[in-house]
Amino acid sequence: MCPRNLRELVKEVRKQLGLSQEELAHELGVSIATINRWENAKTVPFKLARAQFNAFCAKMTKQGKLKLPAKGEE
């Protein structure tokens, strides 16, 4: 996903899972401020944080808790 779409992706993931910024931050092992900056397009995640976010999304999708658009449908 392009960085400009990251803010929408993070918000969509939180919305579908019913998580607060604090709860998502805890799941990913990052600070609340980090999630807030991602959602407000102040920063983009470093490679490790992005990998953690992608792995979290994959896990939630596999468990049937999250449905994200396929590439090209974004």
The domain ranges of the chain are: 3-62
| Neighbour tally for 36: CB within 10 Å | 15
| CATH fold group of domain 3-62 | 434 Repressor (Amino-terminal Domain) (1.10.260)
What pLDDT, in 10s, does the model give residues 25-72? 999 999 999 999 999 988 888 899 999 999 999 999 999 999 987 664
| Band (1; pLDDT cuts 50, 70, 90) | very low
**Tell me, what's the pLDDT at 20?**
98
The sign of the torsion formed by the CA atoms of 19, 22, 24, 26 equals: negative
Q: Taking the complete model, does pTM exceed 0.95, yes or no?
A: no
Burial per residue of 5-32, b for 16 or more beta-carbon CB atoms within 10 angstroms, e otherwise: ebbebbebbbeeeebebeebbebbebee
Q: How far, CA to CA in Å, does 51 sit from each of 37, 54?
A: 17, 5
- The pLDDT, as a whole number, for residue 2 is 44
**Cβ-Cβ contacts under 8 Å for 56 (sequence gap 6 or more):** 13, 27, 28
